[in-house]
Structure 1
Amino acid sequence: MLNRRQLLGTGVAGATLVSTRAWSQTSNRGLPEAALTSESATQAPVVPTTGVDYNPVVTLNGWTLPFRMKDGVKEFHLVAEPVERELAEGTTAYLWGYNGTSTGPTIEAVEGDRVRIFVTNRLPEPTSVHWHGQILPSGMDGVHGLSGPGIPTGKTYAYEFDLLKSGTFMYHPHADEMVQMAMGMMGMFVVHPKDPTFRRVDRDFLIMLNAFDIDPGTYVPRIMEMTDFNLWTWNSRIFPGIDPLVVSQGDDVRVRVGNLTMTNHPIHMHGYDFKVSCTDGGWVPPEAAWPEVSIDIPVGAMRAFDFKADHLGDWAIHCHKSHHTMNAMGHDIPTFIGADKTAVTQKIRQVQPEYMPMGTAGMADMGKMEMPIPKNTVPMMNGWGKYGPIEMGGMFSVVKVRQGIAAGDYSDPGWYDSPPETTVAEWTGDVPAPVEVTDAATHYTDLSKISG
């Protein structure tokens, strides 16, 4: 795996770039500059200064790709390349991505725009980009060998098409797809409605679900894995490295979630119910939007949901598959619940005096104990809240609803101070005795006696 400095030394990055428009060769002198970043924190949204007004999305732990206008066309420049991504503090992965990050930067435009997206390939093999969910000419669909040629190493191709509908879409390779997507090549593509008032919200968050299998102490994903992933991520970050969703009380909020993992994810948000506002196929009519507290995101799909931020507090948002809110999991981890490890602990401490037996009473010890772990590995559960260890990892974050947060302010406001009368606490009064049921049959109705 090459990092950026090593890549420059290979001559690949400095190779002559040849752009193609609609798969025909043209000069590369007019290429827009390719914006790059290696930041892992959520970056400020890009507010439009010309053209149709829209409220920009905030990509959690990500950023939005700049564009330039040329002859009425919005031009973007994606660079497919090896990247180093900090998954959480102390844990880095050697991935493939776009413009310095994985997941790649979010592309934002407006319904009716014509876009021209230059893609420069700095990978060691050909690639392509499929514009997942977009309605476009077949030749721009980005399926290697079917809709057009792959992009060779060191070359730049251009995809050009009109944005025929608004919604949330994704982009990813359809060239050596198993390898390139397993290495982290994916991103989101948001098309805003041409009517600025259509389904507008105050805060609009974007999450890409992806996953990796990276052995403890190593850096490169195991690309042949099909089911046993051990790092479940949002925008290639794992809790506690995932930023909170910060909103002001009273805001209308949208959360858009795309899934390019190999399994479904039931995303659950605490403290609220919400309405599903958009799917891959388009906007759900307001009268048909259905209420949920969890929404399942199928593989290769997108769902968006809206809610009014009425309830102050720190509210968990996470995948409800319990192993997806853990880190460094695996099928080969034994269960020690109920086991007596006294004898084996004594023997192990003869060669490793710092050894601490764990798991005999559950895994919560992992959240509060600090012990040596392999280099470049994150604990199974990590992160501290106001009241102690949160005992979560992976696909987990917090919706932080506060009063008076200014528009455009997404900085972390800290932990919520719950009024004492609304916070769970130890009960010191009398506890009623449990009710003993002596004849359970009396609690049921004999349905055979109901006429009709």
Structure 2
Amino acid sequence: MNRRHFLGSSGGLLAGLALPTLASAAVAAPSATGSAASSSAGGRGYRPVVTLGGRTLGFRLNNGVKEFHLIAEEVEQEVAPGMSARFWGYNGGSPGPTIEAVEGDTVRIFVSNRLPEHTTIHWHGLLLPNGMDGVGGLNQPQIKPGETFRYEFRLTKSGTFMYHPHADETLQMAQGMMGLFIVHPKNARERPVDRDYAFLLASYKIDPGTRRPDPSEMTDFNLWTFNSRTFPAIPPLLARTGERVRIRVGNLTMTNHPIHLHGHDFRVTGTDGGWIPAAAQWPEVTTDVAVGQMRVIEFIANAPGDWAFHCHKSHHTMGPMGHGVPNLVGVDQKAATAKLEKLFDGQHYMEMGSSGMAEMQDMAAMGSMMPLPTNTLPMMTGEGPFGPIEMGGMFTTLKVRDSLAPNDERDPGWYTHPQGSVANKVDPKRTDGLPR
């Protein structure tokens, strides 16, 4: 019997726990590196969601009501190796922990405010009483610093939803305050999958050498993230060949994101409005997730390999960059380089951008890159089995393996390609005679 089975069947024992122990009395669900085995929390079976790089929030049962505890607070979190940020989030992370429950459950969510200003929480996409909707000043008083509020409502439909503030939201969401809210079908046999992944898209403006997102920025963001992390800090999605995989994507940035999967086609099966009937689902390899939307996709992982999964806006798969940098592609900088080195008393100066930006990645791989400011990521990063992947931001991989055990979330390493199945260099003469 695992912790989720035990705690889910021990409502009488757990009901006496004090409020401060709610988070520690967690019904633990898997992280991106943990087990994804089916669960019977609250007496109903469902497959827990794997939140990329995150976790699921625990709960206690109190007379049949599932009680959760969210703590709004400042957090220090790694964005990628070599860089961390000071976000505002929940329970020590940004996004906050994923809330999982079952259609028909009554949930009671305590929200404690440890921020320096007031806040609220809006339950995006959920159908609930007006006074629980979380718009400060309209539906409820603001939650002042040091206060704890109670939200309570019944979950009337299953689906993929979010939570975020509706109080000073331009600042608070720009600082990382958001989370996922997953409601599983009451009938565990409905919509079965073998793997169920979830993440939120977020964008930040964090100037080089700093740690705190700039809440006044509206357009020129320089960090594009899955669950407030950039590649290569984003865990891969894993699947055994033949498994059915679900991926839930929510967008809380200020622009749309065409999310693209290599090697497979999928069907769009859900939005934050609910599940899409089978007859209305449509096939894609890229689905656009607009601002404030959720998209749920499902597919059969029938092609072994390491497949890219990313936003198809190219600059969203990059790290921090200077948007005001002049275009130097095709510009011979040698004369300027000599003058700059003389100006800098002979210190070595590297011109970059004449032949494209990939030269920056090549120099980084050779260890000749000029040092970056403290706590600053390069524009492109990540190493693969054939060299630099030249990606950052909203990018990760889907790793499909014949040998992967069911529910195993351990990274299997890079794919071993069958003999003769990798694109390779040939003699240019082999193209002689081909039409041009």
Q: CA deviation at 1:287?
A: 2.1
Q: Decide which of 90, 104, 109 is 1:117's aligned counterpart.
A: 109
Q: CA deviation at 1:347?
A: 2.6
Contact persistence 2:113–2:148 (CA under 8 A): yes
Look up the SS of the partner of 1:208 in the other structure: strand
Q: Residue deviations 1:9-65, cap 9 Å, x none?
A: xxxxxxxxxxxxxxxxxxx9545422499xxx8352575344110011100011100
Q: Decide which of 212, 219, 222 is 1:220's aligned counterpart.
A: 212
Q: Scaled by the length of structure 1, what TM-score is found?
A: 0.87
Matched, 1:358 2:352: yes
Q: CA deviation at 1:292?
A: 0.1
Query: What residue ranges of structure 1 are gaps of 5+ in the alignment?
Result: 1-27, 437-452
* Alignment correspondent of 2:400: 401
Q: Scaled by the length of structure 2, what TM-score is found?
A: 0.90
Q: Decide which of 72, 78, 91 is 1:80's aligned counterpart.
A: 72
Alpha-carbon separation, structure 2, partners of 1:79 and 1:45: 26
Q: CA deviation at 1:330?
A: 3.5
- Structure 1 residues 431-446: aligned runs within 5 Å: 431-435=431-435
* Alignment correspondent of 2:275: 283
Matched, 1:147 2:153: no
Contact persistence 1:210–1:261 (CA under 8 A): yes
Alpha-carbon separation, structure 1, partners of 2:357 and 2:419: 29
Q: CA deviation at 1:434?
A: 4.7
Contact persistence 1:35–1:65 (CA under 8 A): no
Alpha-carbon separation, structure 2, partners of 1:181 and 1:43: 27
* Alignment correspondent of 2:184: 192
Higher-Rg structure is 1
Look up the SS of the partner of 2:224 in the other structure: strand
CA RMSD of aligned residues (A): 1.8
Amino acid across the alignment from 1:392: M
Look up the SS of the partner of 1:232 in the other structure: strand
| Percent identity of paired positions between Structure 1 and Structure 2 | 57
Q: Decide which of 7, 25, 34 is 1:44's aligned counterpart.
A: 34
**Which moves more between the two structures, 148-157 or 47-56?**
47-56
Q: Residue deviations 1:249-289, cap 9 Å, x none?
A: 11100010000000000000000110001112111111221
Amino acid across the alignment from 2:420: E
* CA pair 312-43 structure 1, distance change in 2 beyond 3 A: closer
Paired residue total: 407
Contact persistence 2:22–2:60 (CA under 8 A): no
Q: CA deviation at 1:392?
A: 0.7
Query: What residue ranges of structure 2 are gaps of 5+ in the alignment?
Result: 1-16
Alpha-carbon separation, structure 1, partners of 2:117 and 2:175: 13
Q: Residue deviations 1:74-123, cap 9 Å, x none?
A: 01100000001110001011110000001111000000000000100000
Contact persistence 1:32–1:75 (CA under 8 A): no
Amino acid across the alignment from 2:404: I
Q: Residue deviations 1:180-206, cap 9 Å, x none?
A: 000000000000000111111000010
- Structure 1 residues 231-270: aligned runs within 5 Å: 231-270=223-262
Contact persistence 1:35–1:77 (CA under 8 A): no
Q: CA deviation at 1:240?
A: 1.3
Look up the SS of the partner of 1:278 in the other structure: strand
- Structure 1 residues 405-424: aligned runs within 5 Å: 405-424=404-423
Q: Decide which of 333, 344, 347 is 2:325's aligned counterpart.
A: 333
Matched, 1:368 2:359: no
Amino acid across the alignment from 1:151: I
Alpha-carbon separation, structure 2, partners of 1:164 and 1:406: 35
Q: Residue deviations 1:353-405, cap 9 Å, x none?
A: 34221110111122222221111000000000000000111000000001121
